[in-house]
């Protein structure tokens, strides 16, 4: 694997840290800015909104630029957003800064996935994407706990300055390691990128992402009350258990990348089936501490096995202009976050029990399987890819004969 993937992983590590660290800093931010915890919770929503807005928008407006330049510019915007977060005088400025910090998130992962697959041979494409995502999963094990600890001892503003420093390191890594013409930079421009989004298979792939990861967030958004109320863990033990989720996610991410290079569709169907099974078993596993720890770890593993296949499936369906579709998939991940949490909350509000969000998640995972099956049926009716589609999707070597096909 090329060393350039390390630069993408460093950027992913910084983005993953800033995305999730706010959950641990909410009490400190609320006390310092003299706002309520629910009001401070809007800072999490502002970041997610920035991701959803920024992912397709920034990918579209930068469609004709070198992808190396785009990645560096996106990381520079990330640094500015986090620096402004550290300097925010009140909650309104911090809300705006968090929105700004979220803008480059989706586009960075979307464009980065296209770059990563262009750096390797076709049989290693999924592994290259999983290595970029490795920065995101490791952030949940190392970055978020360390950043939260820094905020608790040095103040929450120091955390965002520290994340800004990670962003600067990522910029240096991108400038040094990413080739100047990575991944056959798109020449189609905005019109070509938008045309890719008119494809039914692209939307079916995005729908699979929303349903599949909505299943994860339906349960994970309420994992703390499950661990404390059902499994009997003390509040102080939750952080360690969430680290187990990060370990599971890291294992699943690497495993999914390796398996998807052998069978993308098989890995996707297998991962969604495993996710549905794990979530269906949650009410049983959450009855004792050991089972709960196993459930949290397996949840991370099963969910993130599907990460690389989902990203590659969207890119494959938009083979002639993958950057915008790839970035739109990151917006779909965040829509899954919001939608899954909402559906899990409905199950709780209906009085179905502490573990009912996991059962709702299992239903969403089955729905994701259904959408994936429809996408497969549509693919079979469309027939094989054209020569150019196969080249851009990475199925065959790029030579004159295949391009003419």
Claim to verify: residue 148 and residue 219 sit in the same structural domain? no
pLDDT of residue 168: 96
With 0-12 CB in 10 A as exposed, 13-18 as middle and 19+ as buried, what is 287?
Answer: middle
> Tokens for 169?
């390191």
pLDDT of residue 181: 63
Claim to verify: residue 54 and residue 150 sit in the same structural domain? yes
Claim to verify: residue 178 and residue 207 sit in the same structural domain? no
Q: Identify the domain boundary among 185, 209, 239.
A: 185
Q: Identify the domain boundary among 128, 154, 185.
A: 185
Q: Which domain holds residue 345?
A: 189-405
Q: For the segment 9-52, what is each residue's pLDDT rounded down to a tens digit?
A: 999 999 989 887 886 787 788 888 988 866 777 887 788 888 88
Claim to verify: residue 246 and residue 364 sit in the same structural domain? yes
* All residues at 6 or more sequence positions from 391 whose CB lies less than 8 Å from its CB, including other chains: 398, 402, 403
Closest CA relative to residue 230, chosen from 299, 282, 277 = 282
pLDDT of residue 310: 87
The CA distance from 368 to 373, in Å, is: 9
Residue 320, SS3 per DSSP: coil
pLDDT of residue 189: 57
Please count the structural domains in the chain. 2
The CA distance from 166 to 139, in Å, is: 12
pLDDT of residue 400: 34
Q: Could you tell me if 126 and 309 are in contact, meaning their C-beta atoms sit under 8 angstroms apart?
A: yes
pLDDT of residue 353: 86
Residues of the chain with pLDDT under 50: 182-187, 385-405
Count of C-beta atoms within a 10 Å radius of residue 353: 16
The CA distance from 62 to 74, in Å, is: 10
pLDDT of residue 234: 82
pLDDT of residue 320: 64
Q: Whole-model pTM?
A: 0.78
pLDDT of residue 188: 54
Closest CA relative to residue 324, chosen from 213, 210, 212, 186 = 186
For 213, 215, 223, 302, the CA distances from 255, given in Å and listed in that order, are: 17, 20, 24, 10
CATH code assigned at 296: 1.20.1250.20
pLDDT of residue 192: 62
Q: Could you tell me if 144 and 20 are in contact, meaning their C-beta atoms sit under 8 angstroms apart?
A: yes
Residue 58, SS3 per DSSP: helix
pLDDT of residue 186: 46
Closest CA relative to residue 174, chosen from 294, 326, 14 = 14
Q: For the segment 238-277, what is each residue's pLDDT rounded down to a tens digit?
A: 778 878 888 998 999 989 988 988 888 899 999 999 999 9
């Amino acid at each position: 694997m090329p060393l350039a993937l390390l630069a993408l992983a460093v950027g992913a590590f910084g983005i993953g840290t800033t995305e999730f660290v706010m959950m641990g800093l909410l009490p400190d931010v609320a006390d310092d800015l003299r706002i309520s915890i629910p009001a401070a919770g809007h800072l999490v929503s502002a970041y997610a909104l920035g991701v959803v807005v920024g992912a397709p928008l920034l990918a579209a407006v930068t469609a004709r630029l070198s992808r190396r330049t785009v990645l560096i510019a996106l990381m520079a915007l990330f640094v500015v957003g986090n620096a402004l977060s550290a300097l925010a005088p009140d909650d309104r400025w911090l809300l705006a800064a968090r929105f700004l910090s979220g803008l480059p998130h989706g586009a960075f992962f979307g464009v980065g996935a296209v770059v990563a697959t262009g750096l390797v041979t076709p049989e290693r494409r999924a592994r290259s994407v999983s290595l970029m995502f490795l920065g995101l999963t490791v952030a949940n094990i190392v970055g978020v706990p360390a950043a939260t600890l820094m905020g608790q001892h040095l103040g929450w503003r120091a955390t965002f300055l520290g994340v800004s420093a990670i962003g600067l390191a990522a910029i240096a890594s991108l400038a040094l390691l990413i080739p100047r013409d990575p991944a056959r930079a798109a020449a189609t421009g905005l019109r070509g990128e938008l045309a890719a989004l008119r494809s039914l298979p692209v939307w079916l792939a995005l729908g699979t992402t929303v349903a599949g990861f909505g299943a994860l967030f339906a349960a994970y958004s309420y994992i703390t009350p499950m661990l404390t109320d059902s499994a009997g863990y003390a509040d102080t033990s939750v952080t360690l258990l969430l680290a187990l989720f990060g370990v599971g996610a890291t294992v699943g991410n690497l495993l999914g990348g390796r398996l998807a290079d052998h069978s993308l569709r098989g890995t996707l169907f297998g991962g969604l089936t495993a996710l549905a099974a794990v979530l269906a078993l949650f009410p049983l596993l959450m009855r004792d501490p050991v089972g709960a720890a196993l459930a949290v770890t397996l949840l991370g593993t099963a969910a993130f096995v599907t990460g690389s296949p989902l990203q590659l499936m969207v890119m494959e369906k938009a083979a002639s202009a993958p950057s915008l579709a790839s970035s739109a998939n990151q917006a779909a991940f965040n829509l899954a976050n919001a939608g899954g949490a909402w559906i899990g909350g409905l199950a709780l509000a209906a009085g179905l029990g502490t573990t009912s969000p996991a059962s709702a998640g299992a239903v969403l995972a089955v729905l994701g399987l259904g959408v994936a099956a429809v996408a497969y049926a549509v693919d079979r009716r469309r027939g094989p890819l054209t020569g150019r589609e196969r080249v851009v999707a990475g199925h065959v070597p790029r030579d004159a004969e295949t391009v003419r096909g």
